Amino acid sequence: MTKKNKNLLVRPFLKWAGGKRQLLPEIEKYLPKSNDIKNYFEPFVGGGALFLNQQYSKVTINDFNGQLTNAYDVVKNNVHDLIELLKEHENNNTSEYYYDLRAWDRTNKLENKSRLEQAARFIYLNKTGFNGLFRVNSQNQINVPYGKYKNPAIVNEKVLLNVSQYLNEANVQILNGDYADAVKNASSGDFVYFDPPYAPVSDDKSSFVGYTLNGFSLDDQIKLSEVFKELDKKGVKLMLSNSDVPFIRDLYKDFKDTTKIVQATRNINSNAAGRGKVGEVIVMNY
């Protein structure tokens, strides 16, 4: 399922809040053997750190964020034109230019742009916006301020080319929709990694609720645990990352014997309790 010799240039091409790059050494300790995996599913793909690192050969990725999944699709199918357009953005990069492009979703320009133009804008805003955040207001308009970085890596040409090559060679299926729909065909012998927006770590239940357009409520966390249990009954191998809080531990108490606790660093949180070293759970059914 994984390449014997991984391509080290196949790695995330986006900055992503909650990304798993720093946790990969821990996660890799607990992954199923690649020879035991028929198909791999990542229904909350985000920056894609795990699937790009593992370079599985039969992969379905999904995210609710259509701008994100469009970027993956354009990297897969039109990477050379994407690189050229990103170079234009890099040459024009200023605070004023950033806010002009950001305003596309405030002036109805965005819907009239090609998928290529939308993807290049998304990547440019990601690389130059504050902390690589994807955050929208109630009108689904990106509202992240300009990051004021001296030399942002807007065009990482080698990474984009190699990720494109991998997405094509592995025929990675890219979906944009509900995570439950993305895994509905998973069956015995398949492996699903869930990396949802995390449950809040503070008592007010309002901190760090996620990266999707509409957030991820506690009811959504309950629904996800039910999907997890249904897939478990089908013989699907499962792994899930989330906050190490009583609410999550209780949802997955049936898997407590195969749940691991790890420490991760979080810098993006509306509440100070969720910053710094924070406990995370890795729930598995194997």
Q: Known binder of ligand: residue 63?
A: yes
Phi first, then psi: what are they for 201, rounded to 5°?
-100, -5
Residue indicated by tokens 């407590």: 256
Rounded CA-CA distance 109/126 in Å is 18
Cα Rg of the chain (Å, integer): 19
> Which tokens sit at 89?
């953005």
Rounded CA-CA distance 87/157 in Å is 10
The 10 Å Cβ neighbour count of residue 187 is 11
- Distances 27 to 39, 84, 209, 283 between C-alpha atoms, Å: 18, 35, 22, 11
Rounded CA-CA distance 17/210 in Å is 9
Contact 160, 126 (CB under 8 A): no
Q: Known binder of ligand: residue 233?
A: no
Q: Is 249 exposed, middle or buried (0-12, 13-18, 19+ CB in 10 A)?
A: middle
Rounded CA-CA distance 197/215 in Å is 7
- Its sign, for the CA torsion 158, 135, 67, 18, is positive
Rounded CA-CA distance 233/51 in Å is 24
Contact 17, 49 (CB under 8 A): no
Binding residue numbers = 16, 20, 63, 195
Binding residue numbers for S-adenosyl-L-methionine = 16, 20, 63, 195
